[in-house]
Structure 1
Amino acid sequence: MRAIKILGFFFLISFAGFGQINWQPTLAEAFKQAKVENKLVLVECFHPQCSHCISLNQNLDDPEIQRVLNEKYINYRIDISNRIQYQELKDRNISLIQWPVFLVFNKEDSLTNYVEPTELLASLKLQLANVEFSSDLKCDRVGIEEPNIDLLSKCGVYYRMTQNIEKNNEMANYLYFWLNQENIGSEKSWMVYKKSVSSSDNLLAQFWLQNLSLATQYEKSENVVKEIMAAQLQTKMISLYKSDKLTPQDVVTLKEELTKIGADETKILSFTWNLELITLIKSGDFKNAKILCNKVVNQFPTPGAFITVFRLINDQMNTSELNSFFEENIEVLTQKAVKNQELSKELLLQSARFYSKANNLKACRESLQKAAELGFNQQQEFEEKYCR
């Protein structure tokens, strides 16, 4: 009897994983196993409160789908609501624009494809059986000689997810060319645009910025259209901020585009002040730079806003022309931030940098000492960099 029980135990162990997708415990383990088995890594991204995601996960209980996923891929899943898991995508510079979605990586940890899974079980089986699902998108080969709007749109989404704005704009220009052959003002064009395009620096975006009423007709909501446009202008703002070729005209153009979508003065200021301040500092126009700084902190009178302005000044210049703005605000700001340890610490660090520019090395060291008392553990490193 005991022997039968032991055999039964091993029988259960042997089939414990039968009929289930072999989800890896971590993404790192998935890539490790992919190299061993020479397979692609499939990452299911879902949100527990998303109805489409719930339907998908029910379909993943299908034995045929489980067999295909286990045979063809090393599998891992990311709960978008789990900040630690989602960080695994952010670490790879991937930003999801919708879910559920299957991301396909090669064993070298590069995203090569993605699939937006359907809710219908039969359609999902066809998707997973499609050999194209496993292949590289080859977006670098798609362009003016490839009149495939669906593929161009998919590549646009791919570059949007991987935050490659330059390539996304390139795909958007190709889309504009081919959509213009059909009907650039069609509902299909709008749907392709809002899904595939991440910035406004392309012909397709410029067309829809000029035709907001037509977009509203298709979307049936002016606010939704404005939100879509605002998100793309924000992406443009981030791209300009990172660029070493930022010009005053770029700032003017961005303001004009924000005005087109009905942004008020406060919204325009929040989108453009950092870009404008950089151009003023680069041109040596410190008088107007100070005026702009005061305008920002008057409009957004919080310690966080002050510190953000302080940090940008410190990052952009090594001279003391804007020290007066710092000196006029530091005392009151210190009192406001004292209740928040992290804000106080950051304020002290930025203060040390300002004192360094003014060659007030004693005040620089004192600020870093106070920051150390709040938990800053790089005091010596910062002293050597700024206070000597």
Structure 2
Amino acid sequence: MRSALLFIGFLFLWSSSLSAQVLFETSLKEAFKKAKEQNKIVFVEYYNSDCPVCKRLGDLLRNDSLVAAYYNKNFINYAMNTNGSLADEDNTFISESNLHFESVPVLLFFDKNKEFLHHSGVNVDAEHLINEGKKAKHPDFRTSGLKAKYDKGDRSVKTLYAYCDLLLVNKNEAMLKKVSQELFESFKKEELPTKKSYIVLKQVVISPENGFFQYWMAHLDDLKGFETGYKAGTEKSYLEKIVLNELRDPNIKNWSTTKKEQFKSYILKLNITDQPEVYFE
């Protein structure tokens, strides 16, 4: 009798531990097979096992009963670890989905037919994870619906910023330059000196012709105090990244004199080097 009670207790503890964690499939193929059978969305945890934020996300997914209950009920779940290299099946899938990420972790959602629905960066808290899951389930809030909103004329800051993020993930640079400039034009000018403006620069601006770039180049002394911790003082690095990327242009020697002089001034103002001519030799 005592042995039976101990066994029942063990089963209870084991089942309780399972209910507190998101259950992940062992392969992408199995995940989509189950998604079709159960008519569910597939959630993909795209992460790197060496990433500190990813480790915190992993702890949350595997130890929070509210998150586990929501994701196990509504999605078929799968985890992709980018440490080293993705499995061939995973790599092919991400490539064919036209998704390109420069950082992790990312929350990804696909319908049962492997069509992309939604993606999000991560705040490591239960409310954020559940809210992003709800967005993935609602057609009006999915990132895959942003193009349709834009095409219908939605030029709100919220929509333009989110659409820029999607265009960045899709590596559609031409459209990203266009939409990020429209974002600048829709942005409240009294908010340009704020952290909100800096975040736009940091996250979605890639062109030196963009209004956010031009604003912060003209107000370099104010571009400080927006980063803390180990990133403190790195605010200007995002301007430098844009300038240096432009300087990689293979046709740089054919630039007009005006453009060369403009970039020499950027190089000097950002203290990239005190000999900007070296980039044009």
Aligned Cα RMSD in Å?
4.3
- The one-letter code sitting in structure 2 at the alignment partner of 1:215 is L
Task: Kindly state the Cα deviation for residue 176 of structure 1 after the two structures are TM-superposed.
Answer: 0.5
State the distance in 2 between where 1:265 and 1:153 align. Answer: 35
- The one-letter code sitting in structure 2 at the alignment partner of 1:77 is A
Pair 130,189 (structure 1): closer, same or farther in 2 beyond 3 Å? same
State the distance in 2 between where 1:193 and 1:126 align. Answer: 28
Q: Indicate the SS of the match to 1:69.
A: helix
Is 2:99–2:169's contact at 8 Å kept on the other side of the alignment?
Answer: yes
Task: Kindly state the Cα deviation for residue 102 of structure 1 after the two structures are TM-superposed.
Answer: 0.4
Which residue of structure 1 lines up, in the alignment, with residue 134 of structure 2?
130
CA displacement, residues 334-379 of structure 1 (integer Å, 9 cap, x when unaligned): xxxxxxxxxxxxxxxxxxxxxxxxxxxxxxxxxxxxxxxxxxxxxx
Instruction: Between the two structures, name the one with larger relative contact order (CA 8 Å, sep ≥ 6).
Output: 2
State the distance in 2 between where 1:74 and 1:235 align. Answer: 40
Q: More helix by proportion, 1 or 2?
A: 1
Which residue of structure 2 lines up, in the alignment, with residue 76 of structure 1?
78
State the distance in 2 between where 1:84 and 1:142 align. Answer: 33
Which residue of structure 2 lines up, in the alignment, with residue 248 of structure 1?
254
- 1:174 equivalent in alignment to 2:182: yes
Structure 2 alignment gaps of length 5 or more: none
Task: Tell me the number of residue pairs that the alignment of Structure 1 and Structure 2 aligns.
Answer: 260
- The one-letter code sitting in structure 2 at the alignment partner of 1:257 is F
State the distance in 1 between where 2:256 and 2:42 align. Answer: 41
Pair 80,176 (structure 1): closer, same or farther in 2 beyond 3 Å? same
**Match for residue 119 of structure 2 among 114, 123, 139:** 114
Deviating more after overlay: 175-184 vs 79-88: 79-88
Instruction: Tell me the TM-score normalised to structure 2 length.
Output: 0.70
Pair 111,205 (structure 1): closer, same or farther in 2 beyond 3 Å? farther
Kindly, what percent of the aligned residue pairs are identical?
A: 17
Pair 114,38 (structure 1): closer, same or farther in 2 beyond 3 Å? same
Which is higher, the Rg of structure 1 or of structure 2?
1
State the distance in 2 between where 1:58 and 1:227 align. Answer: 32
**Match for residue 262 of structure 1 among 250, 262, 271:** 271
Pair 82,192 (structure 1): closer, same or farther in 2 beyond 3 Å? same
State the distance in 1 between where 2:185 and 2:152 align. Answer: 8
Structure 1 alignment gaps of length 5 or more: 273-291, 293-388
Is 2:47–2:82's contact at 8 Å kept on the other side of the alignment?
Answer: yes
Which residue of structure 1 lines up, in the alignment, with residue 171 of structure 2?
163
Task: Give the alignment of 1:1-388 within 5 angstroms.
Answer: 18-19=18-19, 20-60=21-61, 61-85=63-87, 87=91, 89=94, 92-121=97-126, 123-124=127-128, 126-128=130-132, 130-131=134-135, 134-135=138-139, 136-137=142-143, 138-140=145-147, 141-142=149-150, 146=154, 148-216=156-224, 218-219=226-227, 224-233=234-243, 236=246, 248-249=254-255, 253=259, 256-257=262-263, 259-260=265-266, 261-264=270-273
